[in-house]
Structure 1
Amino acid sequence: MERHVRAWMRAEVQERTDVALLVGVSDAPAARESLSVRIGGAEHPVTEARDRFGNRLHLLHGLPGGEVEIAYDAHGIAPASAPRVLETDSVLHLRPSRYCEVDELAHVAEEIVGERQGGEALDAVVAWVAGHLQYVPGSSTITDSALSTFAARRGVCRDYAHLTATLLRAAGIPARCSSVYAPGLSPMDFHLVVEALVEGRWLVADATHLAPRASMVRIATGQDAADTAFMTTLAGDVALTSIQVTAVVDPELPLEDAAERLELR
């Protein structure tokens, strides 16, 4: 299986703007990869770094004012190695985070999971979120968290992921959020899913069930969407005016089996 992905963005920026991008595929090997940043007809330099989660940050410093065009392409992406499990994962990914209020939803997690453990507990949480939330584009904002999503009972992929991760952590299962390219997703966009640490493996879970997990490509991983945003303004001002994301797979899109235990590869 090979994946091909592209992200294209256009934005208006103020003079001396600094931006961090999380659009490059993580550690899955790609046959060809490119990132172009152009403003005023000229190519702007890009610096690559790694953040505390090991994500590939692409940094744009001192952008001149005007219209900037960003294009990322990766072709022939093969499956990556299985995600590594670090000794600290079982500590870090049980904690509350900006969008995941673990303590406030502990009683809900207890009711959902009961005496279940491991994979059965993971299945119970995913099924509950899928059954109790309605996917409504535009129904939430960047300030919405797991708690507000639980109350509203609707949202988009980031809301599903935050609530799933929060309930899992509250049930004693380490969980993190990962942004991905998702072949088969409709409408196509960046997508956020959850990884749960079960029996020594980071298993991918997606309560939206909008795309097959087997063909997803990891972009970035963190505690929640605050760590995985595709664009972060560090200084100055950015107004995003257009965005297009595409993700396809060869030779064909795999079928999704919700019961299958899968890792992001």
Structure 2
Amino acid sequence: MKRDVSATLEIAVHADTVLQWQIAVARQPGIDLVESMTCVLDGEFLTPREVIGPHHSRLHVLEARAGTLRLDYQATVFGTAVPEPASDYEIALYRRPSRYAESDKLLGYAAAEFGYGIIDPDMPARVAAWVGRRISYVSGSSAPIDGAVETLLSGTGVCRDFSHLVVALLRAVGVPARVAAVYAPGCVPMDFHAVAEAYVDGAWRSLDPTCLAPRSSLVRIATGRDASDIAFLDNHGGDITLNSMSVQAFVDGPLPYDDFVQPISIE
């Protein structure tokens, strides 16, 4: 499958700072990637430093002076990523509670709702379907600091909130789970998208309780414990304002069908 993705960010930098962003496609084995990134600050072309993170995520870092910064990224993705086995450390890490997926606060709730210690490969799909029924997608309904517990209590959220709740509930019943930031052809509203992944039968399987985009068309950007690991933009120092952002993602041809039940890995 050929996929074309792009992102444009305009950032007002009010004082000297260090910016970090994750908008580039993860360079996973098995995919062919043709890409470009430009970084222009008040007409001056700059070159950010690239840092390779876990799961082939790529963080770009720039020391920026005050001014207006424009980031443009475009990529064409061919092929299918080769699944990589999880290490023992990763399996342990993705069973632990984290900042936005507070599984330790949901142990009793999850056990009562789904059971615990049950060897059931369908458990992740059941949890994702439950979250999809329980939570309503409402743009702007959550705050950046909200985690899985706030989402469960409020009953509303956006894609990251759905994913955090799925991940927290799965960890609470003993299933390793993580989140992934992706480009998502077919997503409405179009934006950076977040999905959950569960380790099932020796492979990471994607779960999207929002059902906003077919999982087989997703393109991985970053992977981690929760939104703190996959944020598309981070600022360390001076104040900034995100003036505008545009994200696009398309497949070559019709979108594939997805029943959001069968196990699928992000390719």
Q: CA deviation at 1:48?
A: 0.5
State the partner residue of 1:3.
3
Q: Secondary structure at the match of 1:9?
A: strand
Deviation of the 1:252 alpha carbon: 2.2
CA distance in 2, matches of 1:30, 1:71: 20
Contact 1:83 1:264 in 2 (8 A): no
User: How far 1:52 moved relative to its partner?
Assistant: 4.8
**In 1, Cα distance between equivalents of 2:243 and 2:120:** 43
1:252 aligned residue (235, 251, 254): 254
Give the Å deviation of 1:53: 5.3
Q: Distance in 2 between matches of 1:238 and 1:84?
A: 39
Shift of 1:250: 1.2
Residues 175-232 of structure 1 deviation map (CA, whole Å, 9 limit, x = unaligned):
0000000000001000010110011110000111111000000000000000000001
Q: In structure 2, what is the equivalent of residue 22 of structure 1?
A: 22
Q: Counterpart in 2 of 1:180?
A: 182
Report the equivalent of 2:41: 39
Aligned partners of 1:113 and 1:139: how far apart in 2? Answer: 27
Q: CA RMSD in A?
A: 1.4
Shift of 1:235: 2.0
Q: Secondary structure at the match of 2:261?
A: coil
1: distance between equivalents of 2:196 and 2:144?
Answer: 18
**Matched positions, count:** 264
Q: Structure 2: how far apart are the matches of 1:85 and 1:7?
A: 30
Q: Is the 8 A contact 1:30 1:74 kept in 2?
A: no
More off after superposition, 75-84 vs 38-47: 75-84
- Per the alignment, residue 129 of structure 2 pairs with 127
- Residue 126 of structure 1 aligns to a residue whose secondary structure is helix
Structure 2 CA distance for partners of 1:242 and 1:30, relative to 1, 3 Å: farther
1:66 alignment partner AA: G
> Is the aligned partner of 1:94 residue 2:70?
no
Output the amino acid matched with 2:102.
E
TM-score scaled to structure 2, two decimals?
Answer: 0.95
> Do 1:180 and 1:192's aligned partners in 2 also have CA atoms closer than 8 Å?
yes
Q: Which runs of 5+ in 1 are unaligned?
A: none
SS of 1:218's equivalent? strand
- Report if the CA contact (8 A) 1:118-1:198 is conserved: no
Write the letter of the residue equivalent to 1:18.
Answer: V
Please give the alpha-carbon distance, in whole angstroms, between the structure 2 residues aligned to 1:153 and 1:117: 28
Partner of 2:219: 217
Q: Is the 8 A contact 1:112 1:128 kept in 2?
A: no
- Cα deviation, residue 111, structure 1: 2.3
How far apart are the structure 1 equivalents of 2:77 and 2:207? 24
Shift of the alpha carbon at 1:27?
Answer: 2.0
CA distance in 1, matches of 2:27, 2:263: 21
- State the SS of the aligned residue for 2:122: helix
SS at match of 1:75: strand
CA contact 1:96–1:103 (8 Å) conserved in 2? yes
After superposition, give the CA deviation of every residue in 1:19-42 in whole Å (9 maximum; x if it has no partner). 111001002434420111101111
Please give the alpha-carbon distance, in whole angstroms, between the structure 2 residues aligned to 1:79 and 1:105.
36
Amino acid of the structure 2 residue aligned with 1:48: E
- Is the partner of 2:186 in helix, strand or coil? coil
What does residue range 224-239 of structure 1 map to in structure 2 within 5 Å?
224-239=226-241
CA separation in 1, counterparts of 2:26 and 2:54? 14
The aligned amino acid for 2:226 is D
